[in-house]
Amino acid sequence: MSEVAERWGSRRAFIMAMTGAAVGLGNIWRFPYMTGENGGSAFLMLYVIFVLLLGLPVMMAEILVGRAGRRTPMQALSHLALENGHSRHWRLIGLMGAATVFFILSFYSVVSGWSFEYMFDALGGNFTGMSPAEIGGSFNTFLADPFKVIFNHTLFMLLTMSVVAAGIGSGLEKLNNLLMPLLYLLLFVLVGYGATTSGFTTALSWLFTPNPAAIDITVVLNAMGHAFFTLAIGACALMAYGAYMPDRQSLPTAVIAVACLDILVALLSGIAIFSIVFSQGMDPASGPGLMFVTLPIALADLPGGNIWLGGFFLLLAMATWTSSINLAEPMVAMLQSAGLKRGVAALLIGVGVWLMGLPSALSFSSLADWTPLEGKTFFDLVTSIPTDIFLPLGGVLIAIFATWIMDRQRAFDALGASTTLCRGWLWVTRWISIPLVIIVLISSLWHQG
């Protein structure tokens, strides 16, 4: 259980690694459809509030534990707990995190596979001359084909696990740092396209005009879960990366930069998608297919449409690739500390997650009628419960650990900020973030039962 010696090459490299984990399907795919299903501006407002009040403090808590421990999440948790006279059972937070990301990665891979399919289709010219209605229809036809869906899911898992097996510091990060600015640029182009459509002003007012009447406990729970999901926190995934954080770097500065970028990407994607939704007279609440039926309509309309579309899905695949590598990290770290070699750990996890992904892949075909709970398909459940319940639960435990269990000076040192900032973080985490998560989780359980 000794400390790791490796560090990310530079402060910038660490910020890039965090950004790679944070920016992904959460921003471009999940944020728009969740906003659409949860009353537009009401969801957006709550999501931003949760990112500020919970996301930033908990993200700092999570990374500082990894940084202070300089070990895999479970080892860091038990080391820091023992050191301060507490039980080593606190490491079970790491176990819960590994279980949570197991389920999240299973559907993440399936949905990333959808964008592979779109990339291949676009580059093959399949969207040429299709009407918006045909584009919408082709999505459902694709989802109903178990062979294609599983093929892409398999491909995605292979790509992810081969990088995971190689360990951090592979060439992928460098490639990604080079390509992500292009994705952001393309999102600006899409917003620009959106601005030329008739739905643009409706989209803006639907997203930004406050609508507190649309808020209920479900919207609150969904927005809270999404804040954790999009920032990649609550499952010890960023904690694992924190172990390699350079020695001299301010954690608050890095975290604020990543969160701002994460919100920006979500907003761009939301504005682009809802402009198309409203100009095409579509339903904002049409669910997980929203991005797949709107963005091709816009991009296929530009000159050289297939290239734009293929490029977009390629960049999206890159973004989801780096997120899924981070998703796998808590599991790999856990198996590694149990004595397995990295490659073997990656293989086991890859096979397990692939199998777990199958019911999600089939939720739109052979398992479409299988609704284990409250009329929801397996896909509906696996995309909501781990994110909305288990990420916040893990996050609140990590926050409790960082502010009540581990040594205070250790925590402040790992934050790497001024004493005032450290005290501010401690106060907000203890008295705002932790109670807020607990209140939301309990009220929604109350509401269910």
- Residues in contact with Na ion by CB under 5 A are 22, 26-27, 230, 262
Binding mask 339-368 for ligand PHE (x = CB under 6 A): ------------------------------
Residues 259-298 that bind ligand PHE (CB under 6 A): none
Q: Which is nearer to ligand PHE, 77 or 261 (CB)?
A: 261
Of the listed pieces 19-27, 50-58, 116-124, 240-248, which binds ligand PHE according to CB under 6 A? 19-27
Of the listed pieces 163-171, 225-233, 269-277, 364-372, which binds ligand PHE according to CB under 6 A? 225-233
Of the listed pieces 87-95, 145-153, 231-239, 289-297, which binds ligand PHE according to CB under 6 A? 231-239
| Single residue of 279, 323, 360, 403 touching ligand PHE by CB under 6 A | 323
| Single residue of 19, 27, 35, 38 touching ligand PHE by CB under 6 A | 27
Phi, psi of 59 (to 5 degrees): -65, -40
| Single residue of 15, 17, 22, 295 touching ligand PHE by CB under 6 A | 22
| Among Na ion, ligand PHE, none, partner that 323 touches (CB below 5 to 8 angstroms by kind) | ligand PHE
Q: Are 115 and 324 in contact (CB under 8 A)?
A: no
Of the listed pieces 11-19, 128-136, 162-170, 229-237, which binds ligand PHE according to CB under 6 A? 229-237
Q: Are 426 and 406 in contact (CB under 8 A)?
A: no
Q: Does 78 bind ligand PHE (CB under 6 A)?
A: no
Cα distance between residue 126 and residue 120, in whole Å:
9
Distance of CA 54 to the CA centre of its chain: 15
Of the listed pieces 11-19, 49-57, 321-329, 421-429, which binds ligand PHE according to CB under 6 A? 321-329
Look at residues 346, 7, 391, 343 and name the one whose alpha carbon lies nearest to residue 169: 7
Place of tokens 């949860």: 38
Q: Are 172 and 163 in contact (CB under 8 A)?
A: yes
| Among Na ion, ligand PHE, none, partner that 102 touches (CB below 5 to 8 angstroms by kind) | none
Of the listed pieces 25-33, 112-120, 122-130, 196-204, which binds ligand PHE according to CB under 6 A? 25-33
Q: Which is nearer to ligand PHE, 104 or 255 (CB)?
A: 104
Q: Which tokens hold the place of 273? A: 């998608």
Task: Round the CA-based radius of gyration of the chain to a whole number and report it.
Answer: 21
Tell the smallest beta-carbon distance from residue 412 to Na ion (Å). 28
Neighbours of 254 (CB within 10 A): 22
Of the listed pieces 22-30, 277-285, 350-358, 421-429, which binds ligand PHE according to CB under 6 A? 22-30
Q: Does 26 bind ligand PHE (CB under 6 A)?
A: yes
| Among ligand PHE, Na ion, none, partner that 237 touches (CB below 5 to 8 angstroms by kind) | ligand PHE
| Among ligand PHE, Na ion, none, partner that 25 touches (CB below 5 to 8 angstroms by kind) | ligand PHE
Tell the smallest beta-carbon distance from residue 22 to Na ion (Å). 5
| Single residue of 207, 258, 327, 381 touching ligand PHE by CB under 6 A | 327
Tell the smallest beta-carbon distance from residue 443 to ligand PHE (Å). 24
Residues 101-140 that bind ligand PHE (CB under 6 A): 104
Q: Does 221 bind ligand PHE (CB under 6 A)?
A: no
Neighbours of 336 (CB within 10 A): 16
Phi, psi of 398 (to 5 degrees): -65, -40
Tell the smallest beta-carbon distance from residue 26 to Na ion (Å). 3
Look at residues 351, 357, 342 and name the one whose alpha carbon lies nearest to residue 112: 357
Look at residues 298, 185, 239, 216 and name the one whose alpha carbon lies nearest to residue 4: 239
Q: Does 25 bind ligand PHE (CB under 6 A)?
A: yes
Binding site for ligand PHE (CB under 6 A): 21-22, 24-27, 104, 229-230, 232, 235, 237, 323, 326-327
